[in-house]
Structure formats: structure tokens, C-alpha cells
Copies of this chain bind each other. A is one copy, B any other.
């Protein structure tokens, strides 16, 4: 079934090759960019304008075997992806330490909490205790909606799940507790606008 987007374009989902880990989950409405691409481009935009210095951390990889061909660069011949112990992005913005995770979902009515790991929640809690600003950026890809969910609101939903509550955060919870980011062309998602609004309502103690 074709889905109609507000911009009038239609989208026909294709069969996803789940075995190919390098293949990215492209969403037509965002011109083929993943959320990570959009944030990286936005960070580059901030960097060029001296607005903020925020980078994605490299994916942690456990290297097992390396070969050293003569006169060539070292070649890693066996390695494995490791689970990240922190969040994907961090940096500094006018004296404020920012630390966040970014996730996209195809769900239209809720964000599944299985996308977040317990150690990431622990990390975000520790960052908040150190007076850093931690949050989650969520893209609801199918409806092209973006939100900044402050860590305290994420923590509340997480704690409820731990106590046997629901395993996903309803879309309405985002409308109530998160800050919407309106996507644009350049930068793709000006999330610091949302963070500014968040800090005006929930200042760092």
C-alpha cells in the first residue's frame, strides 16, 4: 500500500534486507538520509559557523587480527562490532556539555524502548548528575516528525517500563514532554533550537 505524505509524494516500502548490516534504512521523505546523516550534516553546519562542537563518536570495534603488508597501511582482517557503552553524540555548546542519542522508528504511534539500552540510560543519568545536558532525538520517519526528549522525561518512561509498564513511549507523550524540531534543508535538523527551548523551560541546576 502506498502511503501519502503531506508533500504529496507517495512511498512504496521495499523488502528490507535485514542481513545486510551496512545497508541503511532510507526514508524517502527525507531524501534518502538517515537520522544520523542529518545530525552529522547539522553538526558540520554548527562547526562551520562556530556555533557548537558536536561529533558522533566512532563505532566501537574489537580488532582481533591485523596484517601489515609491506609498504602499505595496516589491514584489519578480523574484527567485531562492540556494544557502545555511552551515547552516540556529544560535544560543547557555549559552555554547555551536550550528550545525546539519536534513534528513528517506523512506528507512527509510539517509540519502542527496545531501541535504548540500559547502559545508555545509566550513562545519560551520570551525565545529567554532572550537570551535562542529555536528551534523545527521535525521528518518526513515516510521519516525518522529530522530537527532542529531555532525559528526565525519558527516564520516567524507562522507569515505568522497568516496573512492568508499557514497553514503548506513546506519540502523545512526545507531544506533551518533548520539543519538536522542524526539519529544514540547511541544516537538516536545527536541533539546538529545540535544546534552547528545552533549557529555557528546564534549566540545568
Cβ contact within 8 Å between B75 and A78: yes
Cβ contact within 8 Å between A131 and B21: no
The interface on chain A, measured as residues whose beta carbon lies within 8 A of the other chain's beta carbons, has a size of 45
Cβ of A90 within 8 Å of any chain B Cβ, yes or no, is yes
Q: Which of B20, B68, B85 contacts A19 (CB 8 A)?
A: B68
Cβ contact within 8 Å between A20 and B75: no
With the chains together, A35 CA to B70 CA distance in Å? 29
Interface membership of chain A positions 125-152, coded 1 if the CB is closer than 8 angstroms to chain B and 0 otherwise? 0110111100000000000000000000
Copies in the complex: 2
Measured CB to CB, the nearest residue on chain B to A131 is B95
On chain B, the residues within 8 Å of A156 by CB distance are none
On chain B, the residues within 8 Å of A132 by CB distance are 53, 92, 95, 97
Cβ contact within 8 Å between B90 and A80: no
**Could you give 21 example pairs across A and B, Cβ below 8 Å?**
A19-B68, A21-B66, A21-B68, A47-B126, A50-B130, A53-B126, A53-B130, A55-B86, A73-B81, A75-B80, A76-B76, A76-B78, A77-B78, A91-B97, A91-B130, A92-B130, A93-B130, A94-B130, A95-B130, A95-B204, A96-B97
Q: Which residues of A contact B (CB under 8 A)?
A: 19-22, 47, 50, 52-53, 55, 57-61, 63, 66, 68, 73-81, 85-86, 90-97, 99, 123, 126-127, 129-132, 204
